[in-house]
Amino acid sequence: MKSQNVTNPISMRKFLLLVLFVFTSLSAIAQDSTNRIALDPDVSLGLSANSIGRGILGMLFLMGVCFALSSNRKKINWRLVLTGLGLQLLFAILVLKVNFVAAGFDYISTKVVEFLNIAEQGALFVFGKLVDPSASMGYIFAFKVLPTIVFFSAFTSLLYYLGILQIIVKGLAWVMSKTMQLSGAESLAAAANVFIGQTEAPLVVKPYLESMSKSEMLCLMVGGMATIAGGVLAAFIAFLGGDNIAEQAIFAKHLLTASIMSAPAAIIIAKMLYPETEEVSRTLDISKEKVGSNILDAISRGTTDGLKLAVNVGAMLLVFTALMGVINWLLGDLIGDITGLNGLIASVTDGRYDDLSMEFILGNVFAPVAWLIGVPSEDITTVGQLLGEKTILNEFYAYGSLSTLKASGVITNYRSIVIATYALCGFANFASIGIQIGGIGVLAPGQRGTLAVFGIKALIGGTVAALLTATIAGMLIG
């Protein structure tokens, strides 16, 4: 049944005023930063006219891409788009610029890191000195990071069994449903994607999957691509923070912020790419899917699922790293050496790249995108390389590269590192298309055709959503 998707002009004026208020707030913060620099030259500029300008340009470009690829431009609900942008900006300003909120989020991030490090107690018992980075063998990824994934998966399963996770998800879904006028199913799925993965979140709305409209289904898919699961969040914190607890807390804050901000971003992008034209249900009822017959069974199932994920992550990194080495050998030792491109590339890049490689190619292809989202000019090829690795391979490989580049001093600019952290925070890669078709398709066989058709569109949507989040963060980070 078609709906008269007409935006009330009074409501539109209200939301335009909201956006104006947000940008006025940004300008005020920028002026405050400028004043503080005038008093003390050692103070970081933070938000400036340049960062705001770059941010607005990046947002307009990303919105333009979605508008150009929209299936029905006339039906785009601009009220929803403005509301989503307002929510993103408001949350980012609160967490990154309002002192007492930032302090609260810092406290939460510190406690999250402390909690995740409890997993080391189990890992130390099983693996002994292999887990201790101060021992002679140093930091070993398989024994340091992968056990955290198993532990967090078991804990998430426990929270789901106790009903705690459902309460949190329903609360966040209620906020998005009321502010953005979404259907109950897509609100719940978007909220669930913040905490659990792209294959687990659909279970929350399992009874509604078969009857979902095409717009709702794309919203579900883009939400899965644009966010990360709690288990891998723990792995990324360990990736980026290494064995430094303080750094882990910093990156935990940014990863948590990115995952929450990307939920409304995914909705904005999905609704621009495929606007809703049907009547949808506003009911907010979470599926009563059981994760175990009792607490111990729930923990056991979560542990098993976490073990599968950890083995999968380790295997993917092993294979993709080796494959990248083979490709680089073909490009550098054969093509680059024979044609003389290696010397030319080393000269042009001042030694940043030694030869023709996938890193060099991806860095230059994605460099314009890195510039648009606010990355400082000296790091656009490096961050562009990371964006390419995330899309073509996966986010684990990209975060691993970011960790290596950070540790080796190739990328030292804090702004570049943090923007990259936000931009990589999502499952948007080619492998995820198959994961979603297989995972959601099992739950809703009647939607397999829609899932297959929307695969590439969901990948684009998830990528753009993460980039939009990174752009907004880039405006606020000094």
* Structure confidence at residue 353 (pLDDT): 80
| DSSP annotation string for 326-342 | HHHIIIIIIIIHHHTHH
Checking if the pLDDT of 134 tops 60, the result is no
Checking if the pLDDT of 281 tops 70, the result is no
Q: What is the mean pLDDT of residues 117-127?
A: 71
For 209-234, write each residue's pLDDT tens digit.
Answer: 888 889 989 999 999 999 887 778 87
In whole angstroms, give the CA distance from residue 116 to residue 237: 9
* Structure confidence at residue 97 (pLDDT): 82
Secondary structure (3-state) at 478: coil
In whole angstroms, give the CA distance from residue 324 to residue 401: 12
Q: What is the mean pLDDT of residues 27-35?
A: 50
Write out the two tokens for 111. Answer: 């406690």
In the chain, helix, strand, coil percent, each to 5? 80, 0, 20
pTM as predicted: 0.82
* Structure confidence at residue 112 (pLDDT): 82
End-to-end CA separation in angstroms for the chain: 49
Secondary structure (3-state) at 2: strand
* Structure confidence at residue 135 (pLDDT): 52
In whole angstroms, give the CA distance from residue 250 to residue 38: 28
Greatest CA separation found in the chain?
A: 68
In whole angstroms, give the CA distance from residue 24 to residue 18: 10
For 34-47, write each residue's pLDDT tens digit.
Answer: 444 343 333 344 56
| DSSP annotation string for 154-223 | HHHHHHHHHTHHHHHHHHHHHHHHHHHT--HHHHHHHHHHHHS-TTTHHHHTGGGGGG--HHHHHHHHHH
What 8-state DSSP symbol labels residue 130? G
For 279-320, the three-class secondary structure string (H helix, E strand, C coil) is CCCCCCCCCCCCCCCCHHHHHHHHHHHHHHHHHHHHHHHHHH
* Structure confidence at residue 45 (pLDDT): 44
Phi first, then psi, for residue 475 (nearest 5°) are -65, -25
